[in-house]
Structure 1
Amino acid sequence: MYILLALIGACVLGIGVHYLIGGRDLRGVIVTPAIATATAAATYTGMQWAGVGEDSVWLWLASLLGSIVVAAVVTLGLVASRRRSDAQARASLGI
């Protein structure tokens, strides 16, 4: 049941990261929170299988803060890729 707290927390923090990172018009509104939530689920589950208890602060830090870092990096990569793609399309069209 505690995994739900981690997933909800990661999703909420992912929404915050979505609004902090520029280029919102180049990606969907759910991309960053979805990446954060999926990463938190994988991290939490992996650490549970590795034997880390639910009362460990490392489980919560890794699943919440780690997922936010991964989501921010992936989102920045997506925005940069989209900007390059758009610039190439404009250049090939002569716009």
Structure 2
Amino acid sequence: MHILLALVFGAVYGGVLHVLMSGRTSRGAALAPMLGAVLAGLVYVALTWLGVTAGDPWLWVASLGTPIVLVPVVLAVLTRVRSAQDAKERLRLRIS
């Protein structure tokens, strides 16, 4: 049941970043919240499988810290890649 806290945090954090970061018109509205939730959930599950309990603060530091670090990086990279790909496609189609 504790995993829900990590999932909700990841989704909310991703949603906030989607709104605050530039380039949100070039990515779907559900991408950032889903990415945050998946990252938090995967880290939580992996650590519990390794024997870390919900009472251990490192479980929470890792499962909440992973989306904090990775979601903005992934969104920035995806925005740059999409912008570059769109510019290339506009050149190919001769659209100004």
* TM-score of the pair, normalised by structure 1: 0.92
Percent identical among aligned pairs is 38
What's the CA shift for 1:73? 1.4
Comparing 64-73 with 31-40, greater Cα deviation is found at 64-73
Distance 1:21 1:61 in 2: 24
Runs of 4+ in 1 over 6 A off after TM superposition: none
For residues 15-69 of structure 1, give each alpha carbon's deviation from its aligned partner in whole angstroms, at most 9, with x where no partner exists: 1111121001000111011011011111000001111110111111111121232
What's the CA shift for 1:70? 1.6
Partner residue in 2 for 1:34:
34
| Native 8 Å contact 1:17 1:68 kept in 2 | no
Comparing 55-64 with 28-37, greater Cα deviation is found at 55-64
Partner residue in 2 for 1:56:
56
3-state SS of the aligned residue for 1:55?
coil
3-state SS of the aligned residue for 1:87?
helix
Distance 1:56 1:10 in 2: 19
Number of aligned positions between the proteins: 95
Distance 2:58 2:16 in 1: 22
Is 1:12 equivalent to 2:12 in the alignment? yes
- Structure 2 alignment gaps of length 5 or more: none
Question: Cα RMSD (Å) of the superposition?
Answer: 1.1
Comparing 5-14 with 66-75, greater Cα deviation is found at 66-75
- Structure 1 alignment gaps of length 5 or more: none
